[in-house]
A and B are shown apart, each in its own frame.
Chain A
């Protein structure tokens, strides 16, 4: 088991659909203050800081300019990963294992409520020559992908509705979640279609919030008072960026990322060795794809597990006990770190009403959203 690096502190603000009372800097300050207190460190004890942000989500170019002050990181080694939260986690992980740092901080945040037209920002991520002229709405791309998935999985869209019901129901118990609700599968199917077969309630709602994690080498973790959870393995991967050349039913990036993390963690049978999963569910069908990637299943087998209730909070392998993005809210690249924080609380036994009994290990799988084919995976375990 690889126990070189541990998460020793987590801090986050509750996710909320709007946050008119707080700037992103104030949210980060709050999350950092909580994380440092949880880990028992002061900013001066931190050797390196990694932040996660994309310019167009922030509305600011070179957005890493605005990262240091609220983290207590002025004149310290700070850099940004313009990517997924788990890629940021991987960057900090590598800096610790390389010997360049003993204690590292990873920060991500979302001020999605500042974005007036999300679809138009996402459309700018399409290839400017081959794809953008088609003027595709990003949800239409998700609709295409969902249709192909349902076709190859040979399942009805009701399984996706079931994912929504499960995750938003789980979120009712989560004080950090914005979108807890009691829903029926019929209500989900009856919600307005966005791009058939994708319906409105199958898409995560946006949320504002900030999350900060404190990482430490095994040696430093022993010294610090925070309750450490080991990063047993971490992986990330990008698949084909073009819409025309990618596989549509399988999340190959997630499979590659999970295999890298499992190799590092020495995991042979993920379904047996992992107690809970926090999987990207930006769209309900993505949870099924990511479940199949995480458990090395064939297309459709994850949907069968879900239909059988195995992934419910009291099931054999709970998936998204936090409520996932559908239940907590979607904060772009911060989502994966929020879910990592949730998984850390579970392994500490501090999950409160969400606690999965006997949770000793967890895996988090992320995706960067439409139109990307990039994601990450991390395996966490009790020290």
Chain B
């Protein structure tokens, strides 16, 4: 990747509450997050030149062309507006999309909104996930996501000799971190014993090792360098972006290591000029829809040795006051998982952490650079954004 044409900064962030079943429509959730982000940047809708939307499968809401339906709620009325889509990776990808619209010189101010309303799928959105599988080879087996991620966790444990107790500690950390997050859905003070005593949903995954079904929305405002400097004395710069998509044939891959996350991370590190990520990244929000995924992703991001992230976790390296705070927000396991919105929530968290505005969640190491990552599709896409001040 060549040198970006213009620098781009995050200048505002907003979130709705993350809840199991919002009474608001998807349009309203998008509106709350978008207006919150604009207000925090001191901007109005008329200052926004283009809008990017992110939302995962239409099957959740049962609304075809969901981006069109959400357009007015997200502030897209009579503006250039589109929906970029990489499944579960969409939340972190949306800011990459928005970045390209600003860095290209097409626009100076772009609003990025991510919305998800999973609750309309009754009785449980897991059924909607059957339609993500290959219609000929896989769908007849009746798979769901719990099933395939349990396979992946099992492979990860087997490859490196990891015990479930080591993985369950991720849930303990993230649910505890989320106690300080005002939008959190499933924050809790739980012990390792509580996690392992919760029911097994698909061995080796226990209920408290899975993020919940959620409704919610998140938004950020992006601005070109000259505009950003006028708006705030603490712009948070987009320093690196990366995304890669692996083959659709997930059954042919070794699931022990997320090579597509490493590909995406290397792309982002190259752009950000990062040569030693373990020293140069100070706070990280890896994607944690399942407990093992946080560890798996930290390894893919080259922030931990392969198979060694559980050891780092056990010695407190990823705690809020540790060497590399990981998911200080509480992550998807604590704050909740309205899919695309959860990814953008991680960007919001970095924005607040890097500006020193995270309140009780503020990490102890005065971070100057952070990384957010999401993952999705058939264990297939990695999306990575590096932000810095």
Chain A positions near chain B (C-beta within 8 angstroms): 47, 54-56, 59-62, 64-69, 73-84, 87, 90-91, 93-102, 121-122, 124-125, 127-129, 235-242, 252-253, 256-257, 260, 368, 371-372, 374
- Which residues of the other chain, A, contact B58 by a CB distance below 8 angstroms? 54-56, 61
Of B4, B82, B96, B378, most buried by chain A (CB within 10 Å of CB) is B82
Q: Closest residue to A236 on the B side, CB-wise?
A: B80
Given that A55-B58, A56-B58 are contacting pairs, would A79 and B85 also be in contact in the complex, using a CB cutoff of 8 Å?
Answer: yes
A238 to chain B, nearest CB (A): 4
- Which residues of the other chain, B, contact A64 by a CB distance below 8 angstroms? 85-87, 245, 377, 381
Contact of B244 among A78, A235, A238 (CB under 8 A): A78
Given that A61-B59, A81-B85, A97-B106 are contacting pairs, would A238 and B68 also be in contact in the complex, using a CB cutoff of 8 Å?
Answer: yes
Pairs A-B, 7 closest by C-beta atoms: A97-B104, A98-B103, A61-B57, A124-B64, A78-B245, A62-B87, A125-B64
Given that A79-B93, A372-B68 are contacting pairs, would A61 and B132 also be in contact in the complex, using a CB cutoff of 8 Å?
Answer: yes
A206 to chain B, nearest CB (A): 16
Pairs across A and B, CB under 8 Å, 21 listed: A54-B58, A55-B131, A60-B131, A61-B132, A62-B132, A64-B245, A65-B248, A75-B246, A77-B242, A78-B381, A79-B84, A79-B85, A80-B84, A80-B86, A90-B80, A94-B103, A128-B63, A235-B80, A237-B78, A238-B71, A241-B68
- Which residues of the other chain, A, contact B63 by a CB distance below 8 angstroms? 124-125, 128
- Which residues of the other chain, A, contact B13 by a CB distance below 8 angstroms? none
- Which residues of the other chain, A, contact B82 by a CB distance below 8 angstroms? 81, 83-84, 87, 90-91, 236
- Extra contacts, 4 of them, besides A62-B57, A77-B244 (Cβ < 8 A), are A61-B59, A61-B131, A75-B246, A81-B82
Which residues of B in the span 1-55 have a Cβ within 8 Å of any Cβ on A? 1-6, 25
Docked pose: A59 CA to B59 CA in angstroms = 10
Q: Closest residue to A96 on the B side, CB-wise?
A: B104
What is the 8 Å Cβ interface bit string for chain B, positions 96-115, against chain A (1 contact, 0 not)?
11011101111000000000
- Which residues of the other chain, B, contact A54 by a CB distance below 8 angstroms? 58, 64-65
Docked pose: A84 CA to B84 CA in angstroms = 11
Given that A80-B84, A94-B106, A100-B1 are contacting pairs, would A65 and B377 also be in contact in the complex, using a CB cutoff of 8 Å?
Answer: yes
Docked pose: A212 CA to B237 CA in angstroms = 34
A82 in contact with B97 (CB, 8 Å): no
Q: Closest residue to A53 on the B side, CB-wise?
A: B85
Q: Please tell me if B72 contacts chain A, counting CB pairs below 8 Å.
A: yes
Say which one of B188-196, B259-267, B273-281, B329-337 lies at the interface with A. Answer: B259-267
- Which residues of the other chain, A, contact B87 by a CB distance below 8 angstroms? 62, 64-65
- Which residues of the other chain, B, contact A239 by a CB distance below 8 angstroms? 77-78
B273 to chain A, nearest CB (A): 14
- Which residues of the other chain, A, contact B182 by a CB distance below 8 angstroms? none
B260 in contact with A75 (CB, 8 Å): yes
Q: Please tell me if B212 contacts chain A, counting CB pairs below 8 Å.
A: no
- Which residues of the other chain, B, contact A65 by a CB distance below 8 angstroms? 87, 132, 248, 377-378, 380
- Which residues of the other chain, B, contact A61 by a CB distance below 8 angstroms? 57-59, 128-129, 131-132
B221 to chain A, nearest CB (A): 17
Docked pose: A242 CA to B27 CA in angstroms = 12
A67 in contact with B61 (CB, 8 Å): no
- Which residues of the other chain, A, contact B62 by a CB distance below 8 angstroms? 124, 128
Docked pose: A127 CA to B158 CA in angstroms = 48
Docked pose: A127 CA to B100 CA in angstroms = 30
Contact of B71 among A68, A235, A241 (CB under 8 A): A241
Q: Closest residue to A374 on the B side, CB-wise?
A: B68
A54 to chain B, nearest CB (A): 6
Which residues of B in the span 348-389 have a Cβ within 8 Å of any Cβ on A? 376-378, 380-381
Docked pose: A372 CA to B76 CA in angstroms = 13
Q: Please tell me if B247 contacts chain A, counting CB pairs below 8 Å.
A: yes
Docked pose: A55 CA to B86 CA in angstroms = 12
B86 in contact with A237 (CB, 8 Å): no
Docked pose: A308 CA to B307 CA in angstroms = 74
Q: Closest residue to A66 on the B side, CB-wise?
A: B248
B356 to chain A, nearest CB (A): 29
B99 in contact with A127 (CB, 8 Å): no
Q: Please tell me if B286 contacts chain A, counting CB pairs below 8 Å.
A: no
Given that A69-B248, A75-B263, A100-B103 are contacting pairs, would A240 and B72 also be in contact in the complex, using a CB cutoff of 8 Å?
Answer: yes
- Which residues of the other chain, A, contact B242 by a CB distance below 8 angstroms? 77
Contact of B83 among A69, A73, A78, A82 (CB under 8 A): A82
- Which residues of the other chain, B, contact A96 by a CB distance below 8 angstroms? 104
Of B5, B56, B66, B248, most buried by chain A (CB within 10 Å of CB) is B248
Contact of B65 among A59, A93, A372 (CB under 8 A): A372
Docked pose: A94 CA to B103 CA in angstroms = 8
Q: Please tell me if B230 contacts chain A, counting CB pairs below 8 Å.
A: no
Docked pose: A260 CA to B71 CA in angstroms = 19
B5 in contact with A97 (CB, 8 Å): yes
- Which residues of the other chain, B, contact A75 by a CB distance below 8 angstroms? 244-247, 259-260, 263
- Which residues of the other chain, B, contact A242 by a CB distance below 8 angstroms? 72
Q: Please tell me if B79 contacts chain A, counting CB pairs below 8 Å.
A: yes
B132 in contact with A91 (CB, 8 Å): no
- Which residues of the other chain, A, contact B3 by a CB distance below 8 angstroms? 99
